[in-house]
Each structure stands twice: as structure tokens, then as C-alpha cells.
Structure 1
Amino acid sequence: MELISGAERNLLFESFAHDAFHLELRDDYSVPNEEGPYKSWLNGTDYDGAFMVPWTQLMKRVTDSGKTVRRVRVVTEPHAPYIQWEYATTNTNEKAGEFIRWLPRHKLPEDLVFPVAGNDWWLFDSKLLAVGHFDDAGRVLGSEITENPVIVAECSRVRDLLWDMAIPHNEYKP
């Protein structure tokens, strides 16, 4: 399996035409550029969002051009500390133009089987999928790219199902 880096995956935001969708299924992420801000937040330091500037600039550029960027975060309740931090910082994403919804894990349909072995993924224009892979410690290894029509169709179906079920950020009260 060939993996691309986060930077290479981010280049996909420059080439999609209409919609990018991210499914997040983990209750903790070990993202190196977040470690310092996350630890500071855990210690009670105010969050300033400076580490997110490259991402928010990219999202602003993409969404200002008329493209849509959406996320569904499937989360365990009560929230793990990392998810509490994500919740506290989500307004930064939304100010940049992303639409974020939350779905408590216990509200998932019992018969739902997540495609791509339950990994997180980005779906671009219902055509191209970037599947996230993680090591045993939860660190991001990279993304696997596929345009397999069967896998993409299943991810599109799951996207639509979960987007309709999920609660918009401004309405979600954990």
C-alpha cells in the first residue's frame, strides 16, 4: 500500500471541483503539530489557533471559491479530552468555511459497517478517496488514495447517511 503525506493530501483541495467530505471516527489523534497547543489547552492556557493558520487559510481559499468542505465527527460520549479540545476549537474551522457536524457513537445504526476497515477518510467530489492510516500509537502514517468505484460509492452512501443524522456544531451540546 502506497501512502501520501498530509501535505500531499492537502494538494487535493486545490483540484476538487465541488465537495470535500471528511469522516472522523477516532476519539484521539496524535498529530505532531497539535501536541503543543493541545497540551497547553489541557493545562488551561487559552487557545489562540496560530498552529491552524495554514489549514484555515487553505479552507478559506477553497470555500471562498464556492467549494464545500464538510466533516462528520463520530464521537464517544462522554468525550475524551482530545474530543473536548476539538469541540472547543471547531469554531476556528467553521470561521474558515468548513461545515462540521457531530454524531454520538451510540446513535449509529447498529447494522452500519464502516467502509475501508473503519479508517477515517476524505472523499472528494464522490470520485476520489483519501483513506487515513495510523500506527498503533495513533499517529498519522499517511493517506492511501483510491478511485475504486465500489469503495467510493459505499463511502458516498455512508457520507450521506451520517451527514443527515449528525448534529450541526452550533446545535450540538455535549
Structure 2
Amino acid sequence: MAKKLSPKGEIMFLLTMFLFAIPISDFLLGFFGVPGILAALISILLILILALVFYQKILMIDRVFIAILSMRCLKEFVMIVVLVYGLVIVAFATFYYCVDRFYYPTSSYFKWFYFSVITLTTVGYGDVTPINGLMQFLVSLEAFIGYILLPIIFTIGLRLILKDKNGY
């Protein structure tokens, strides 16, 4: 089984993952002049690589789910859920930010991070809106992912817990 991170390590990993997207995106957009969509894809890829290297449990997700979903490891399950949601939020926020920077160079990453959280949780306050057809498509995709992700994760978890308790 993969090496377990300490609670401080898990918190540091999550903060690093969430805050790493801003300098990567700005560096690609400003210094190299990479187009917005390409900068978003490169940023997301680098964040995912960082997640896989730093948090090795993701590489063995099937074995980890079985170990995590016993009642003894409930905290680990919560961290996996937070990690998955965090990666989805950061990926979409980075994409929105890079596309928006093309139209508005003074755009704020935190505005799009907030928008991504609100969209993924399907709350939708309406104070920030997508600016073009591509972003409208991505918002629809993110809302759908947010709608189905949590039930899927908990259904898998409940199935594994019941399988573990009942032996089948």
C-alpha cells in the first residue's frame, strides 16, 4: 500500500495544489505568451502530475478505496473526496482563468476559483457568468460532474463497506 501522509502533509499538499495553478498560469500566459487554452491545459497537466507525484495513493486507487472505506479509515476517505473535488475545482478554475485572461488581462484567479466552487456544488449564485460558448460548455460539464461525482463516490464507498461487512 502507498505511504500515508501525515495530517500536516495532507494539508500542505492541498494548499500547494490549490495555489500552484496561479503562478503556473501567469508564467505561461505572461512570460511565454502561450495562448489561453494551451496554458490552461499545460497548467492542469502540471497540477495533476504534482498530485500524482506528491500524493501517491491516487496511483493505487482501487486498493486504497478498499482500505480507506472501512470505518477505521474514514478520515482517509474524506481526504480522497476533498482531493478529487479539489482537483476538479482547480482544473476548471485554471481553465476559466486562462480563457478570461485572453479577454481581460487583469482577471483574477480567485474570482474563477470561486466561480468553479459555486458551479461544481451546483449552487450557482449568478454573480459571475461565463464569457463565451467554450466557457458555457465547460460550466455545463462542471455542473454535471458536480452533480454526479459525490453520489458516485459514496455509492462505491457504501458498496465496498457492505461487501467488507457481509463478505460478498
TM-score (normalised: structure 2): 0.28
Which structure exhibits the higher relative contact order, with contacts defined as CA atoms closer than 8 Å and separated by 6 or more residues? 1
- Greater Rg by CA: 2
Question: Which structure dedicates a bigger proportion of its chain to helix?
Answer: 2
Question: Which structure dedicates a bigger proportion of its chain to strand?
Answer: 1
TM-score (normalised: structure 1): 0.28
